[in-house]
Amino acid sequence: MSIIRSVVAGCGSYLPARIVTNQEMTTIVDTTDDWIVERTGIHERRIAAEGEFTSHLALNAAKAAIADAGIDAQEIDTIILATTTPDQTFPATAVTVQMGLGIHHGAAFDVQAVCSGFIYALTIADTFIRCGQAKTVLVIGAETFTRLLDWTDRTTCVLFGDGAGAVVLTAGEGEGTTADRGILTAHLHSDGRLKEKLYVDGGPSTTQTTGHVRMEGREVFRHAVVNIADTINEALAATGLTAADIDWFVPHQANKRILDGTAKRIGLPPEKVVITVGQHGNTSAASVPLALDTAIKDGRIKRGDLVLLEAMGGGFTWGSVLLRW
């Protein structure tokens, strides 16, 4: 049986130039390189320059993904941008990116699911493609997340960084089996009962300010390992595949201990886990495509590999996408 599959045609990413090491963080808050590395695995993060916005990072990542896909930007009919840090409350940052690419047709919109944003955006893109709403979708995760940080709060400000990653998804044909290239299954979840565990204490409708990130780290950690393992098992059950079939696990990069804990829980060997949190920190919606692009460009992920993506973030929101590269 011939079916439509959403196939990744290209991938790209962009990081701001400025590297901020843990050593530099010790000059800002009462912390140490040892504490940060031991608790999180983070060594350094990137911070966007003054005047460098989420749309700038997104546009650079988008151009790289379009070049990698070898298509003309005009072929793109939909742009979905996942971000928690839009340039403005409105319009959507996706529209600024659309304009930057010289595209004046189709639709462009933002998705807000914090760190799970890219998984949400990919799932929406896949649904659009499979139901014939779109043929070529640019999916971006981009953040200037450090602009939401309280730089006097050592429990949060050492964890995050800025960056962007993007993929081009195109409609392809499959046989309806797990041997097909493209997205094989996608699963999304949220539970607002836990929204106070990780949130921003401001917003246009409440304080008319942007606010700062507040987090109960231990609680987030506890729920993350359980929720992530559940949604991975869901993806495997939906496809009849097992953890042994996965070639590469590309998780949201929040904390190396969460990644190690999750891999262990689902029985994945550490060498199959793509870990970039050490160099990027937690870049929220940008973290999965940044990690994906790293593993493609360094040759780990190859055509035909089975790749598992997942994320968990504020809300809580969480989800997984299983695809064949």
Catalytic residues: 115, 252, 282
- Looking at 4, 19, 31, 300, which residue binds ligand ACO (CB under 6 A)? 31
Question: Residue 78 CB, nearest distance to ligand ACO (Å)?
Answer: 25
H/E run at residue 170 = strand 163-174
∠ at Cα 243 (175, 260), nearest 5°?
A: 135
Nearest CB to ligand ACO, comparing residues 62 and 119: 119
Could you give the angle at which helices 93-100 and 54-69 cross, rounded to 10 degrees? Answer: 50
- Count the site residues for ligand ACO by CB under 6 A: 22
Contacts with 115 (C-beta within 8 Å, 6 or more apart), sequence order: 252, 254, 282, 284, 285, 287, 311, 312, 313, 314, 317
Question: Residue 76 CB, nearest distance to ligand ACO (Å)?
Answer: 28
What is the rounded distance in angstroms from the CA atom of residue 238 to the CA atom of residue 185?
7
- Looking at 221, 234, 247, 300, which residue binds ligand ACO (CB under 6 A)? 221
Task: Name which of residues 97 to 126 contact ligand ACO (CB under 6 A).
Answer: 114-115
- Looking at 33, 39, 106, 201, which residue binds ligand ACO (CB under 6 A)? 39
Tokens representing 193 are 């009962």
Could you give the angle at which helices 287-297 and 117-130 cross, rounded to 10 degrees? Answer: 80
Region near ligand ACO per CB under 6 A, out of 5-13, 15-23, 33-41, 101-109: 33-41
Task: Name which of residues 139 to 198 contact ligand ACO (CB under 6 A).
Answer: 154-155, 158, 198
Question: Residue 302 CB, nearest distance to ligand ACO (Å)?
Answer: 30
What is the rounded distance in angstroms from the CA atom of residue 166 to the CA atom of residue 76?
13
Task: Name which of residues 250 to 269 contact ligand ACO (CB under 6 A).
Answer: 254-255, 258
Question: Residue 313 CB, nearest distance to ligand ACO (Å)?
Answer: 3
Q: Let me know: does 91 contact 114? Beta carbons within 8 Å.
A: no
Nearest CB to ligand ACO, comparing residues 250 and 296: 250
What is the rounded distance in angstroms from the CA atom of residue 282 to the CA atom of residue 159?
6
Which residues form the interface with ligand ACO (CB under 6 A)? 31, 35, 39-40, 114-115, 154-155, 158, 198, 217-218, 220-221, 224, 254-255, 258, 282, 284, 313-314
